[in-house]
Amino acid sequence: VWPALQADKIIDHVYLIDTRALGLSRTVAAYLLVGDEVALIDMGYRSSVRTIRQRMNELGIRRLDYLLPTHVHLDHCGSCGTLATEFIQARVLAHPTAVKHLIDPSRLIAGATEIFGQELVNRYGLPDPIAPNRVASIPAGQTINLGRGLVLKAVWTPGHAPHQVSYELEGKGILFTGDAVGVTFPDVPVLIPTTPPPSFDLGLAVDSLKLLNACDVKQLCTPHFGALTNAKDELAKNINKLMEWRNKIVELRSAGYSVDSLVGSLIDDVARQAGVRASEIPDYLQVLMRVNVLGFVQYLDRKS
Ligand SMILES: [Zn+2]
Q: Give the Cα separation of 247 and 260 in Å (integer).
A: 17
Q: Give the Cα separation of 264 and 14 in Å (integer).
A: 39
Q: Which of 202, 18, 198 shows the shortest CA–CA distance to 108?
A: 198
CB of 146 closer than 8 Å to CB of 157? no
Q: What is the pLDDT along the chain (304 residues), one digit of tens a residue?
A: 344 344 689 999 999 999 999 999 999 999 999 999 999 999 999 999 999 999 999 999 999 999 999 999 999 999 999 999 999 999 999 999 999 999 999 999 999 999 999 999 999 999 999 999 999 999 999 999 999 999 999 999 999 999 999 999 999 999 999 999 999 998 898 999 999 999 999 999 999 999 999 999 999 999 999 999 999 999 999 999 999 999 999 999 999 999 999 999 999 999 999 999 999 999 989 999 999 999 999 999 999 8
Residues 6 or more apart whose Cβ sits within 8 Å of residue 267? 278, 281, 286, 289
Question: Taken in order 108, 112, 113, 114, is the CA torsion positive or negative?
Answer: positive
Cα of 179 from ligand 1 centre, angstroms: 5
Cα of 113 from ligand 1 centre, angstroms: 14
Cα of 257 from ligand 1 centre, angstroms: 26
Cα of 155 from ligand 1 centre, angstroms: 16
Residues 6 or more apart whose Cβ sits within 8 Å of residue 302? none
Cα of 202 from ligand 1 centre, angstroms: 14
Cα of 228 from ligand 1 centre, angstroms: 18
Cα of 148 from ligand 1 centre, angstroms: 30
Residue 180 has φ and ψ, to the nearest 5°, of -65, -25
Cα of 288 from ligand 1 centre, angstroms: 11
Give kind and range of the element (H or E) at residue 175: strand 174-176
- 153: helix, strand or coil: strand
Q: Give the Cα separation of 21 and 36 in Å (integer).
A: 29
Residues 6 or more apart whose Cβ sits within 8 Å of residue 205? 158, 159, 160, 180, 195, 242
Question: Taken in order 168, 174, 177, 181, is the CA torsion positive or negative?
Answer: positive
Cα of 73 from ligand 1 centre, angstroms: 5
